[in-house]
Every structure is written in structure tokens, then in C-alpha cells.
Amino acid sequence: MKVMKRLFEVDNWKIIESELHKDEFRLAESMMSIGNGHMGMRGNFEEMYSGDFHRGSYIAGVWFPDKTRVGWWKNGYPQYFGKVINSINYLGIRVLVDGEEVDLFKDEVKEYSRELDMQHGVLERKFTVVKDEKETAFHVVRFLSVAESQLAVIKYSAVPVNYDGEITFIPYLDGDIRNEDSNYEEDFWQEESIETGEYEAALVMKTKGNPFGAPVFTVSAAMKIEAEGDVVSVSPNQKSEYADNIITMKAEKGKASVLYKYAAVTTDRDHPKDALIAKGKAVLAEQTEKGYAALLEEHKAGWLKRWEMADVEIEGDAEAQQGIRFNLFQLFSTYYGEDARLNIGPKGFTGEKYGGATYWDTEAYALPLYLSTAKPAIARNLTVYRHNQLEGAYHNARQQGLKGALYPMVTFTGVECHNEWEITFEEIHRNGAIAYAIYNYVNYTGDKAYLHEYGLEVLTGISRFWADRVHYHAKKAVYMMHGVTGPNEYDNNVNNNWYTNVMAQWTLNYTMKTVQYLKENGHADKIDELGITSEEIEKWQDIAANMYLPYDEEQQVFVQHDTFLDKELMPADELKPEDRPINQNWSWDKILRSCFIKQADVLQGMYFLNDQFTEEEKRRNFEFYEPMTVHESSLSPCVHSILAAELGMEEKAYEMYNRTARLDLDNYNNDTEDGLHITSMTGSWLSIVQGFAGMRTFNETLSFAPFIPKAWKSYTFKIVYRDHLITVKAEGTNVHLSQEGPELSLKLYGEDAVLPENGKLSAAINSAVVQ
């Protein structure tokens, strides 16, 4: 694959832009995004910019049900398309030099740099602006605190290089903000209240009402300003949905005029609606008391602590190193598990495309990473999130006239809010991933209490859905599932998608196993409470035992869906370069009829249920399907990397790793300007840990089988596994494991091994012989 666009220097810990990319401004803005779980923003400039850009700042959990846009609405279509909404601009600071506005699009700019320090979560800009021969050197530092997530901090400094004059700063709050992707160009916000004083202002905005019963949100941004320098005048102003301070300072050649802007963003998700400004002011008072330097240190310490548990070090491949860190940085900026009401949006806080906050990506790709890189409570929150939305899932099934629970493809509340029928009520395999996540969480953590507290209720809802969604084909004596879309969205409305059917079968079996376990472990009451009868179990048993799983005897592969083998089959290599990516160059008609696969489909099943297939089965299916796969979903390469690694196809595994790790850094899919591919960022971590290092956790047993990609000298990562913090280092011809925690039995290259209490263990690569 060609590198599409690399605007940034390769660096271990930083994303560095050393020239102003006016033509790729949106792409650079996406890449320079920061967030702290509570809120986040694209890498917009504080000051005025008259070129093309996309101002975007988003608050976790604050969304709007935009009216659906479909050609012809039919029963069962979702009523609205929920979207993350662009909210109050608390970032803005206009800057004037002797009354002339600084505008990096029009002004002469020298010594420009923008750096995102991923280690500390700080965005920094330096640049010199020349206006009428007056040169001014600027330095801007910005962070969204991970110590106090309602706090944003900006330090904006200006030094006249060759003149004496005046610098004017106009820090402001602007509530007149719209989504670029509003379906009907509507404004989602209205002003609730506003106040302005010297060095301070506060604005409260509320989302407009809606006919869908979706919640209305109230958010407030309060700002407090500090000026360092010779202030000449301060003038507070306000108008509808907008408040500012015009602060003019005498600026002496070589001396810095500095403005600190502290903003507190509070919402009625966390506080009473009427107390938002008061709460914001309290946060500002408390935090600014500590001073800028202390706030910055607290924030940096927070990020360092995250890295301590989660960093992956790669020696010998700076690009790969930068890639994995960028991905972890952006993931943690989006979600660090503090709030069980939140989930991991596909674009995080970096853009607007897609809508919704929650996709099956979370269960399929993100959960394993959070299980291993953070405290168990965080992964638990991700699974509890779905339990909290069970009512919405029942609603979705009812909308289709079906029993049980259908988890949504896209949602904020559990209620489906996407808008393509071939996705919303056909891509139902997501239900399988949500059931699987329960298994994954319980199996990884050993937290079996989860099953009666939350797990069984969700599993029962999903199993009831599958049981109603299949139909019995009397002549063939099998259960079939018609009208689905598998993970490969390049094929819509197919029958008997193997992956969907196998995950439905798996769910039914796992639910029955869970019922059995709870019965035997003192939780029979839970089973009764859910009304699970022996007749229902029998029905599930019958469906699971007789589920139709398409298989081709001749090629000995599972068949993606009923008529897949009737297509004209050919490898993706036979495509002309100008045809790729096909989703940008081909008609949807041609794509749907082609054999080309967007992302793992049969192979997704072999990844999830990895312990249930022989190596030979995996190899045959990989060799059959991977060549037809175009990997045009950002979620595709990692699954193939992991399976390739397992099958000893090291080069393929490495190729796929690079595609996932630097997807946005190198803009592989030519769409990073719309925002980052947040949920797929887990792919690079999965490729290293489950791929190169071969980590598996089936049957409550941790195992590894590491190899080192040829281009790398070594790699090191940490995982949290139950009460162990384990470091895995693969270097040269050896693999070294060490841990903090009690003695642990595990498997290395398939052989039993023991990692001593707080001890170490080394072995030669591809051999479990302890050295």
C-alpha cells in the first residue's frame, strides 16, 4: 500500500508539524486532536483563521437526535440519526497586533511548528507572524486536564521581535455552533443564560427539543482569564450566544505578553441544570488557585501514569513506535473508563462523521485492550454499559416485530439511531459480539459474579432474539437466518452468513452454559427471575444443535453466505491500482456483486472462536478469504495480522500491522480529515499483543507465543492480567517475561511455564525451554 499523506515527522513520542499545511489543514487538525474523556477537540487554532478548517469541540455524552435522512421511510427504520454535537467554543482567543488581527492563513508566518506531546498530553504551537514588518513570536500551550476533566487550560504568549506596540487578546466563549453534518442544516443549540465580567464570562447552552423522546442537554462553559504583562484595558462584551473580554497590553520588544485562559465545562449529565455556572466557577476557583505550572504538572503526571501501565516500546522501527503510541494516546484521550454511561465513539472527539457513540467496535476490538491496559473496573464499565441499555435493545427488536434484545449498530441510549436498513436491522451479528464480550470479560478477569449481576440478563435477551430471528427449514432440517449483513458490509442482505450464524449458535450455547453454572452456584433465582424455562432451554438447544453453517466440501472452507461461491471469485491483487480503494472508485452495485471483502467476516469468527478451530481450518479459510479482502475497513487489518501471526505468516502479519498502526498518521484511507479512526486504533495494540506476541486467554489460561518482526530489534509491552502486572519483552532471539504479582502458571509456545511471584522468566523465541 502506498503512503497516502504524511504531514508529520516520525518521532517516538511526538506528532510534529513543522510547516503550516494550508491545503491539508483539516487533516492536520484531526491529527492534533486532544481529549480527556470528558471533552475533546480537534487541533483548531485559538486565533482567527480565514482559510478552510473544521472547528470542532465535543463533550462526552452530549448528543442530538437529528432527523433521519432516508429516501423512503419504512416501518422498522430508526426515527432519528443520533450524532455527537459540536458544542460551545471555549478555545477561542483572537489576537491583534497593533489593532491588526492575526490570521495565519493570510499573514506571513515564519518558524511555524505544532507539536502534540503524546507522553504528556500537551499540544504546543510556536510561530512568528510578520505584519507590516512587525514580527511577533507566539507560543501557545494547550491541554485538557486529566486530573480535573472539566478543565481546559491555554497559555498564549506573544513576544514582539522588532517593535514596541500593543498586543490585544480577545478570549471568548461562543455558543453559536453548528454541526457540519447536520442533515437539514439545522442549529441544535439555544442559549440558556450568559454573563460577562472583567477577566471572566460564562455561557449556558441547551440543546433544542425533539419529538423522539431523546434527552435534552444543558452545558456550560465558564472562563477565567489571567494576563501577565502591562495591561492597558480590559473590556467585557456579550451578545446573543457569545461573550468575550478585549484585553489590550502594552508590548515591549523582546518581552512576553501572556494570556492564560482557563475554561470549565460542566453539563447537566453531572450537575443540576441550574448549578452549572456556579459549578464551573467553583472548578475554576479551585484549580486556578494552584497556578498554571502546578496544573500542567498534575496533568502530565496523569498521562505518565497511564503510560506506565500501557506503553508499548518498539526498538528498531520508529514509525511503528510512533504509530502504536499515537493510537494508545488517542484511545485514552477518548475513553479512560471513568464513566459507565460513556462509550468509545468511532471518531472520538476528533470529528463528526458516523454519528452515534457506540458501535460493536467496542466489544470486538476495544474491550481486549482495556482489559489488558487498565484497571478491571474500566473494562467492566464497558460491559455494564450494554446492560444499562438492555431496554433499548428490547425496543429495537420490538420495532422489527421480534422477541428478545437487538443491540443497536449505532446508539447513545440503546435505541438504534443509524439510518440504513441494510445496516440497522440486518447487520445483527453485533448481538453476537456483545454476548462474546461478556465471555471475554469474565474469562479474562475471573469476575464470575458478573454473570448473575449483569451477564445472564443480557445473554438471555440476545438468545431470545436469535431464537426468534431464525426460521426452521423443515426439508433440510436446519435453522436458517435470512436477510442479514455480515461484518463484510460489501455484501448486503444475504442469507445464512456463516459468521452471524456461528455467533448466534455460540451465544445460545454460552447462555445455556451460564444458566447451568448459575444453577450449580446458588443463583437459580436469577434464572427464574428472567423466566427462563426448560422449554426455552430445549428450544435453544435445538437451534444451536441444528444451526445451518454453510460449508463447501470441495474447498473445505466455511462459506461466507449462501450464494457467495456463485460470485466471480478473484484475488484483490488482480484489481487495477486505479480501482483501489474500491469504495472510492467503484459503484456500490459493482462492489455488492463483487467477491471483494471489506473486512474479516468468516475470519472474524475464527478470531473470536480461535480455540474451536484447528490450525488447518484456520489456514484453509485464511488462504481462501484473505486474498479477496481489500481491508477497506479500518477494523480489518488487525484481525488478519493476528491470524497471520498465528499461522506463521510473519510478513503478512507485519504488513497488516503497519496498515493499522499508521492508518491516520499516513492517511491510508484518505479520509482522516474527517476525524481519526478511534475505535480501530486498538488494532495496532491487538496486532502486537495477540499477533506478534501471540497472547491468548481462552479457558482462563494466559498464553504467549511471541516472534519479532524482521524490521524490529525488540518490543516490550505490559499487560494487567488479574492480579498480575506483566511485562513482556521480545528481543533478539529471546522473550523475557517479568511481573509484579503472585506466581502464575501460563503457557509459552504451547508448553506449561511458571512465572514466579514478582519474578522473571525467559525463553528462546519459538521454544518454551526456560533459560
3-state helix, strand, coil in the chain (%, to 5): 35, 25, 40
φ, ψ (nearest 5 deg) of residue 105: -75, -40
475 Cβ partners below 8 Å, 6+ apart? none
Which string of DSSP letters, residue by residue, matches 345-389? -TTTTS--TT--SB-THIIIIIHHHHHHHS-HHHHHHHHHHHHHT
Q: How many CA atoms lie within 13 A of 274 on its CB side?
A: 0
Q: Catalytic: which of 115, 200, 489, 646?
A: 489
- Distance CA(421)–CA(202), nearest Å, equals 43
Minimum CB separation from a second copy for residue 418, in Å?
A: 7
d(CA 62, CA 734): 49
Minimum distance from residue 421 beta carbon to a second copy (Å):
6
Cβ pair 519, 527 in contact under 8 A: yes
Tell me if residue 489 is catalytic: yes
The amino acid that residue 92 corresponds to is G
- Cis before 581 (ω within 30): yes
Residues forming contacts to a second copy in the complex (CB under 8 A) are 68-72, 74-77, 81, 184-185, 399-402, 418-422, 425-426, 471-473, 476, 480, 482-483, 492-493, 495, 562-563, 566-568, 583-590, 592-593
Least Å from the CB of residue 195 to a second copy: 36
Kindly tell me which of 520 and 554 has the beta carbon lying closer to a second copy.
Answer: 554
Q: How far is the CB of 461 from a second copy (least distance, A)?
A: 18
Interatomic CA distance for residues 474 and 454, integer angstroms: 36
Cell 425496543 locates to: 395
What letter does residue 68 receive in the DSSP assignment? P
The smaller minimum CB distance to a second copy, of residues 587 and 614, is found at 587
Characterize the bridge pairing of strands 703-704 and 744-748: parallel
State the nearest-atom distance from the C-beta of 392 to a second copy, in Å. 17
Q: Residue 246 or 480: which CB sits closer to a second copy?
A: 480
Beta-bridge partner residues of 597: 629
Q: Round to whole Å and give the CA distance between 548 and 215.
A: 42
Contact 251, 160 (CB under 8 A): yes
Q: Which residue is associated with the grid cell 489593532?
A: 99
- The owner of cell 477565567 is 224
Q: Shortest distance, CB of residue 480 to a second copy, whole angstroms?
A: 6
> How many CB atoms sit inside 10 A of residue 211's CB?
9
User: In the complex, what is the shortest distance from the CB of residue 577 to a second copy, in angstroms, rounded to a whole number?
Assistant: 16
**Shortest reach from residue 428's CB to a second copy, in Å:** 9
770: which DSSP letter? B
Helix (H/G/I), strand (E/B), else coil: 255: coil
Residue 171 vs 432, nearer CB to a second copy: 432
Q: Grid coordinates in use for 180?
A: 457540519
Distance CA(97)–CA(160), nearest Å, equals 9
Q: 193 vs 546, which CB is nearer to a second copy? A: 546
Q: Kindly tell me which of 1 and 70 has the beta carbon lying closer to a second copy.
A: 70
* Active site positions, annotated: 489
